[in-house]
Structure 1
Amino acid sequence: MTINYPNGKIYQAPKEVIERKKKKAPVEYGKRGMSLEEDINDSNRYYLERGIAVIHKKPTPIQVVKVDYPKRSAAVIREAYYRHSSTTDFNGIYKGYYIDFEAKETRNKASFPLKNFHEHQIIHMDQCRKMGGITFVLILFSTLNRVFLLGSQHVSLFWHQQTDADKRKSIPLSFIEKNGYEIERGFQPSLDYVAAIEKMLQTEIKV
């Protein structure tokens, strides 16, 4: 907008004002853009601090290939590789129940591809469930920004059926909506998945 003085002259903003407008401070978005794993870790800290649950990320096994010893009292790893994890991402305890779960993301809008799982993960969750553990998958549909908790028994069912020629290779979103538990994002905790575990315990485990 042009501003004129009473004498007809056009107002010109001081140079420092113009420069200040050009150098606007970047917008802070807080925790926006956090990955699913970061959300879970943030929530795990919240649960631990308040005595709600003790759940941690499992460390990924490392295969050490080369080690140097520059000093007798110190060793320096020069070469190492991440080994393929033989189980799932997270485990812990909630209300006396052993909790074990995997966290997965997809950009698909209508289904979750089974190729995102590994056979050893399915086997591990099946074994834990048979021993009385609470096992599930947290699935993030990143394009839709929706997160669900789905019991591992459903995942296992689709996994073992996919070898049949007429069976699909993914879990439909409609099935997850019906049989899973949608988790709302919040501030504290970032992702209250324990609330979803509680719903699953009440409806499926019948505590």
Structure 2
Amino acid sequence: MSFHYPNGKKYVQPAQQMAIKKTRMKDLTYSNRGMTLEDDLNETNDFYLQTAQAVIHKKPTPVQIVNVDYPKRSAAVIKEAYFKQASTTDYNGVYKGKYLDFEAKETKNRQSFPLKNFHKHQIKHMKQVLDQGGIAFVILRFSATEEVYLLEAEHLLVFWKRMENGGRKSVTKLEIEEFGHYIPLGFRPRIDYIKIIDELYGLN
């Protein structure tokens, strides 16, 4: 069975990626680092769930099946499928009666975070969440320095609007440090963003 991304590129399973890149482990690629961020957040959310602090999950990626084989009448084998572009953000859930919705991104850049990492429909979705009284934000990681920040969607919307009006196409590191909230990496949980939410919204 083969999976393809919306751009037609074939999806390679993580096990295959590891075999292909086994000799280059010291030179981690951008995509591998992205998976690490996802793993860290999934571990964090599992910890929140196990300790009854919050119920937050990663949204499943929608898949479009285009080729199915029926070797037996009682079984079907998917031969080819495509990952459809998600229409919202990566994660959502509930914490102390509040709806949380957020996106997780990272960059190799040291001094800025490119806004091209986000899609217009994600920005629209976060604004809709805010309009309904929910809590929306993004978790940003600078992979070169392993620095992680929480940036509220309210600020991201301002930077996005600036870009649409002809301004810079990225958020500077200094702006993220000023308007965002640094999250020190821990053991369990790895990325304790709930602590930041407590401080911002007085939920502790």
TM-score where L is the length of structure 2 = 0.80
**C-alpha deviations, 1:74-106, integer Å up to 9, x for none?**
211111010001000001110011110000001
**C-alpha deviations, 1:153-203, integer Å up to 9, x for none?**
1111111221223x111111111111111111111111111111112213x
Residue 116 of structure 1 and its aligned partner are, at CA, apart by 0.7
Partner of 1:84: 85
How has the CA–CA distance of structure 1 residues 67 and 138 changed in structure 2, closer, same or farther, with 3 Å as cutoff?
Answer: same
Mark the runs of 5 or more structure 1 residues left unpaired by the alignment: 1-32
Determine the C-alpha separation between the residues in 1 that align with 2:110 and 2:148.
Answer: 12
Partner of 1:47: 48
Residue 71 of structure 1 and its aligned partner are, at CA, apart by 2.1
Percent sequence identity is 54
**C-alpha deviations, 1:30-60, integer Å up to 9, x for none?**
xxx9711110000011000000000011100
Residue 111 of structure 1 and its aligned partner are, at CA, apart by 1.1
Partner of 1:59: 60
What RMSD over aligned residues (CA atoms) do the two structures have, in Å?
Answer: 1.8
Determine the C-alpha separation between the residues in 2 that align with 1:196 and 1:111.
Answer: 22
Mark the runs of 5 or more structure 2 residues left unpaired by the alignment: 1-33
Matched pairs, number: 172
Partner of 2:31: none
Q: Where does 1:80-119 land on structure 2 (aligned, <5 Å)?
A: 80-119=81-120
Determine the C-alpha separation between the residues in 2 that align with 1:100 and 1:164.
Answer: 26
Partner of 2:30: none
How has the CA–CA distance of structure 1 residues 111 and 40 changed in structure 2, closer, same or farther, with 3 Å as cutoff?
Answer: same
Q: Where does 1:42-191 land on structure 2 (aligned, <5 Å)?
A: 42-165=43-166, 167-191=167-191
Indicate the SS of the match to 1:162.
Answer: helix
Determine the C-alpha separation between the residues in 2 that align with 1:122 and 1:132.
Answer: 16
Residue type at the aligned position of 2:102? F
Q: 1 or 2 for the larger relative contact order (CA 8 Å, sep ≥6)?
A: 2
Residue type at the aligned position of 2:78? I
Determine the C-alpha separation between the residues in 2 that align with 1:100 and 1:140.
Answer: 17
Determine the C-alpha separation between the residues in 2 that align with 1:145 and 1:182.
Answer: 11
Structure of higher CA gyration radius: 1
Determine the C-alpha separation between the residues in 2 that align with 1:66 and 1:106.
Answer: 35
Runs of 4+ in 1 over 2 A off after TM superposition: none
Determine the C-alpha separation between the residues in 2 that align with 1:164 and 1:183.
Answer: 31
Residue type at the aligned position of 2:187? F
Residue 126 of structure 1 and its aligned partner are, at CA, apart by 0.4
Indicate the SS of the match to 2:164.
Answer: coil
Determine the C-alpha separation between the residues in 1 that align with 2:191 and 2:132.
Answer: 27
TM-score where L is the length of structure 1 = 0.79
